[in-house]
Structure formats: C-alpha cells, structure tokens
C-alpha cells in the first residue's frame, strides 16, 4: 500500500478512533510474533489481538494492511520537547545553568509538543517519550512521560513526575573556575548534604504540630519524594568509578536509582546486578570520546546476558539534530549481539515497565492504548520505512516527516 493510500484509508476512521491493523508479521512484545496478525482498536483502545483467522473485525471498520506492525515505541530517556530543533537559546530549556542543584524544576513547564523534533520522532514510530531536564548539572530537574501526539502537554501526559535527573562525573563540573562542584568528591558531598537536609525537612514535617509546619521548600519537597522512593534518581554516569560512587550513595540513603548512560557499565556488571539497577543505555551511535571513550556497541547484549534490565534512549546531543532515535539504537544493538525480540522489548515493554506505564503502553494487548508503529519491512533494517504511527487509534503520522529529511 502506498503512503497516500494508507493515509486516505486511515483518515476515514479518525473521528471514531476505531480501526483494524492486519500485518503480515505482528510483533506484540507480549509473546511470539504472529504471522498474519490483527490488532483491533475500538474507541482508542485495543480490543483484540491475534491471528486474522481468530479475530472477528466488526463490519464498517476499515482494515489497514502492512508488512510489519509493532507496539508504539517508547523512548526511555530524552530531552525532546525541551531541547528544540532550531538549536537557539529560545528553544533550549533542557538545562538551567544558574545553580548546580535544582530538583524542583518541572519538565512539564518547559515542554513544547509542537516542536518539529517531536514530530520527527513520532514519524519513526515513537509514540511515548520519557523526557525532561537533561544531563549537565548535579541535579538538573525532573522528567515526565508524555505521548508524542500531544501538542498541548496536559492532554498526553502519562506521568507528570517520573524521575529526578542528576549527573556525576565531568558533565556535572562547574563551568567556571572556582565554582562548585569542581571535583568528583565535591559532587558526592553536595548530593549527600542535600539528601541529609531533605531528611531533616521530612522529620520536621512529621513532628510539627498542626499549623506550625516549616515553610515550604520546593527543592527539599522533591528530594523527600526521592528519599521515599516516590521518584527514582535518574543519574547520568559513564565512568565505572562514577557508577560505583552512585551505587554507594544509593545504598547509604536507600534510594531507587536508574543509571543513565553507563558507557562503562560492562565493567561493573556484578555490582549493577547486585544493586538491582536498571540501565537506560547511552545512545550506541553517540561519538566515543571523553567520558564515553570506552563505550561498546555490545553493552546491550552484555547487560541482557547478565540479567540486568535495560532500555534504549535517544538522549541529548549539543549539536543538530539534538536527538538520536531509539529505533536505530535498537537496530545497532541487534546487529551487535542482541536478539531481535530482546531489542524490541527494550524499545517497548521494558521502558514502559521502568516508567510505570505498562498498563497503557509498551505491548499490543487487550485493554491497552491503541498505539501501533507500522513498517514496510524489518523495523531494524536501514532501508525499512515507518509508514504510519497510530496513537490512541488515530493516525498521528504517515512517516512523511522522515522522508523529507
């Protein structure tokens, strides 16, 4: 089916948000691939999944045929919507440089769902992003989870607060001489001091008489959520020494942490597994240099073999186009030792579980959102095109944005 034919076919069912996708190969991420499979979406939700011979499609619902269909892809870590396409100060809100610790900054308050980069990712089958404040400060702010079709942010939010973003290593060093933190020891000391302060604040809140509570402190309130494990600490660290420092800090304060980046994670597999840490792996195609000089294209396969949960991310880049694409990250990992099904899981169900939104997205199962990515071949082949992205049963992209670039 041509792009135009697909667009016309899908457009007839937009208002009803009900349609059926029939794929020569249907990857559900919840079980084995289904040959000649059907996903039935009614009122924006998946109502049936299975072999075409077993799924009854109600009369009046258009059936769209494609080569391959997968769940809508989930980007495990991004700054898209805060970092914009133009690479100008007015569309670069992913990092507030006025202070090294600002956990109170909310990602929702800076997100621009109309930025062309959001549409670009959507055109490649990405339906959900975990995005927000990026690496580059000791604590840069919060992240959240949103659908990529949401031009008005509150309409597509799956999780208003997801994690608190931190950075260890060279990326967190102050940009001016004499400013803190200037060393790794200072970074950990500053984090430890903030967490101790948050502990004291929590005790005061608990012990204070009604009407005599301490004045509100947005920074401490956020870190109290981290201490209570209501929000994980998403810590960017690449060097093995910084990863180990992060693990010690997490043990000291009993924190739930998620390792972001982890270029040298393969050097500390035993420690990561013992600490039950999930890794949001650095973009495999990022340039190897500085702290990431020892990155490996085989890290995803090694994490999987060690039984360490992981996901892929688009991450953040300081130059155009500002973002990687998780579809290609999965393809690179699949070409370097990771099995196809495991790579697809790391793009769909694994990040959905990590983010606590697997009840809605991440796999093609009855009751979940009607989010489907459509391809004209193997999704991990470079010559394959994403020919449609469906979100909540509506055609959100026909892939044209990809072919225009």
> How does strand 139-147 pair with strand 157-159?
antiparallel
Tell me yes or no: is domain 73-355 CATH 3.20.20.140.
Answer: yes
* CATH code 2.30.40.10 region(s) in the chain: 3-71+366-403
Beta bridge partners of 388: 374
Confidence of residue 399 (pLDDT cuts 50, 70, 90): confident
Q: Which has more pLDDT, 87 or 392?
A: 392
Average pLDDT over residues 350-373: 98
Per the structure block, which two tokens stand in for 84?
A: 């914009």
Confidence of residue 400 (pLDDT cuts 50, 70, 90): low
Per the structure block, which two tokens stand in for 387?
A: 């020919």
Q: How far apart are CA 355 and CA 162, in angstroms?
A: 7
Confidence of residue 16 (pLDDT cuts 50, 70, 90): very low
Report the pLDDT value the prediction gives residue 5, as an integer from 0 to 100.
43
Within 307-399, residue ranges assigned H as helices are 326-334, 340-345, 349-355
Q: How far apart are CA 82 and CA 394, in angstroms?
A: 25
Q: How far apart are CA 113 and CA 131, in angstroms?
A: 11
With vertex at residue 188, the alpha carbon angle to CA 225 and CA 108, rounded to the nearest 5 degrees, is 40
Report the pLDDT value the prediction gives residue 211, as an integer from 0 to 100.
83
Q: How far apart are CA 197 and CA 221, in angstroms?
A: 10
Report the pLDDT value the prediction gives residue 175, as an integer from 0 to 100.
84
Task: Give me the chain's average pLDDT, please.
Answer: 93
Closest CA to 247 of 209, 256, 322: 256
Q: Which has more pLDDT, 321 or 235?
A: 235
Over its C-alpha atoms, the chain yields an Rg (Å, rounded) of 22
Report the pLDDT value the prediction gives residue 173, as an integer from 0 to 100.
94
Report the pLDDT value the prediction gives residue 2, as an integer from 0 to 100.
43
Q: How far apart are CA 133 and CA 333, in angstroms?
A: 26
pLDDT tens-digit series, residues 245-295: 999 999 999 999 999 999 999 999 999 999 999 999 998 878 899 999 999
The architecture of the domain spanning 3-71+366-403 is Roll (2.30)
Report the pLDDT value the prediction gives residue 177, as an integer from 0 to 100.
86
Q: How far apart are CA 288 and CA 315, in angstroms?
A: 14
Q: Considering Cα of 234, then 239, then 245, then 248, what sign does the dihedral take?
A: positive
Report the pLDDT value the prediction gives residue 183, as an integer from 0 to 100.
97
Run of H or E residues at 76:
strand 73-78
Q: How far apart are CA 160 and CA 245, in angstroms?
A: 29
Q: How far apart are CA 309 and CA 351, in angstroms?
A: 9
Contact 70/379 with Cβ under 8 angstroms?
A: yes
* CATH code 3.20.20.140 region(s) in the chain: 73-355
Q: How far apart are CA 135 and CA 168, in angstroms?
A: 9
What percentage of the chain exceeds 70 in pLDDT?
A: 94
Average pLDDT over residues 139-158: 95
Peptide bond into 321 cis (omega under 30): yes
């Amino acid at each position: 089916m041509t792009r135009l034919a697909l667009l016309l076919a899908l457009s007839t069912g937009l208002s009803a948000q009900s349609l059926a996708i029939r794929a020569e190969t249907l990857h559900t991420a919840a079980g084995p691939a289904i040959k000649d499979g059907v996903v039935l979406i009614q009122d924006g939700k998946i109502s049936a999944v299975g072999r075409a011979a077993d799924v009854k499609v109600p009369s009046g619902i258009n059936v769209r045929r494609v080569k391959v269909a997968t769940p809508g892809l989930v980007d495990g870590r991004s700054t898209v919507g805060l970092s914009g396409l133009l690479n100008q100060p007015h569309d670069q809100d992913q990092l507030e440089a006025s202070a090294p610790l600002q956990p109170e900054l909310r990602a929702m308050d800076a997100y621009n769902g109309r930025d062309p980069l959001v549409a670009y990712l959507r055109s490649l089958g990405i339906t959900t992003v975990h995005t927000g404040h990026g690496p580059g400060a000791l604590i840069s702010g919060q992240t959240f989870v949103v659908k990529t079709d949401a031009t008005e942010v509150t309409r597509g939010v799956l999780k208003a607060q997801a994690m608190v973003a931190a950075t260890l290593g060279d990326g967190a060093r102050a940009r001016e001489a004499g400013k803190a933190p200037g060393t790794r020891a200072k970074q950990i000391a500053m984090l430890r001091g903030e967490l101790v302060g948050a502990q004291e604040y929590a005790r005061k809140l608990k012990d204070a008489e009604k009407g005599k509570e301490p004045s509100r402190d947005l920074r401490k309130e956020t870190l109290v959520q981290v201490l209570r494990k209501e929000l994980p600490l998403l810590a960017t660290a690449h060097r093995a020494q910084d990863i180990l420092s992060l693990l010690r800090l997490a043990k000291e304060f009993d924190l739930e942490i998620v390792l972001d980046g982890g270029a040298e994670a393969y050097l500390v597999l035993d420690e990561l597994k013992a600490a039950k840490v999930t890794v949001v792996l650095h973009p495999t195609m990022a340039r190897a240099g500085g702290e990431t000089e020892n990155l490996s294209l085989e890290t995803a396969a090694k994490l999987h073999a060690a039984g360490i949960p992981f996901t892929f991310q688009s991450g953040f880049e300081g130059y155009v186009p500002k973002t990687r694409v998780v579809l290609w990250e999965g393809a690179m990992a699949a070409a370097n030792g990771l099995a196809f099904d495991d790579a697809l899981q790391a793009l769909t169900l694994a990040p959905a579980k990590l983010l606590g939104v697997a009840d809605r997205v991440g796999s093609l199962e009855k009751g979940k959102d009607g989010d489907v990515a459509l391809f004209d071949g193997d999704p991990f082949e470079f010559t394959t095109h994403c020919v449609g992205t469906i979100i909540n049963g509506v055609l959100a992209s026909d892939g044209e944005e990809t072919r225009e670039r």
